[in-house]
Amino acid sequence: MRRSAPAALSFVSLLLLAAIGCRSAPDPVRGAASEGAAPLTAAADAPASPPRQARPGTDPGRAGAGTPLAPREGNELAAFAMGCFWGSEDTFRQVPGVVATAVGYSGGHTDNPTYHSVCSHTTGHAEAVLVEFDPKKVSYARLLEVFFATHDPTTKDRQGPDIGDQYRSAVFTFSDAQAAAAREAAAREEAALKKPVTTEIRPMGRFWMAEDYHQQYDEKAGRRSCPLPSRFAERESL
């Protein structure tokens, strides 16, 4: 995001933000960041999200505040953590066959987590995207391909400039079959990258919906956020 010189963060401030591991939280509707950043419309260097004819829904598995998850008849659920959930959700919303998505917190040990509590590194939760999909139109294996292609699974607790356990790579599974497929995909990725893959693979626990302003963030803002590591940046080629 471009800022005028007076509004630019000092080098020391940038170091402090990196140490905290928590992004400022602009409201994509109002376009003003909580910490005085320039409006989102000023980010002329950020690519716009491609238009969609029909956007997926926003209620996967009837998600709520840690409540039981249940897909609609004929659909299935998947959940992934791959860094900043703004960009992660937008990635899966571009996949044909995805019926609905939402972002939230999962994998931790506290109830009713909030964005700021997750950023404190005391909850164990990851920023996650919950996906409801139609298996007749897109396979779980395909969703795993998208997952591994659009983040760096070799950097533990980090994606690009975002540092902290909430940015870890994880697959939260809903069945033994999903767990087996995830392990196989991780092994293939590790062989291809010739580096250890740090992706956590574990059964899905409770999913806590994130605050409203995080939901479908990129669509509301009209731009893509949370840049991917350079070698994973071409999401359009998926």
Catalytic residue among 22, 84, 119, 226: 84
Pairwise pLDDT comparison (162 vs 45), residue with the higher score: 162
Q: Domain locations in the chain?
A: 60-237
Of 49-58, 96-105, 127-136, 202-211, the least confident: 49-58
Residue 128 in tokens: 């996650």
pLDDT in tens, 66-88: 999 999 999 999 999 999 999 99
- Is 84 an active-site residue? yes
pLDDT at 37 over 50: no
Asked whether 104 and 63 are in contact (CB, 8 A), the reply is yes
Asked whether 127 and 167 are in contact (CB, 8 A), the reply is yes
pLDDT at 50 over 50: no
CATH architecture of 60-237: 2-Layer Sandwich (3.30)
Mean pLDDT of 210-238: 72
pLDDT at 12 over 60: no
- pLDDT score recorded for residue 54: 80
What is the rounded CA–CA span in Å between residue 87 and residue 123? 22
Across the chain, the runs of DSSP E, i.e. the strands, are 76-82, 98-106, 126-133, 158-159, 162-163, 169-173, 200-203, 208-209
pLDDT in tens, 157-180: 999 888 999 999 999 999 999 999
For the whole model, what pTM was predicted? 0.78
The overall average pLDDT reported for the chain is: 80
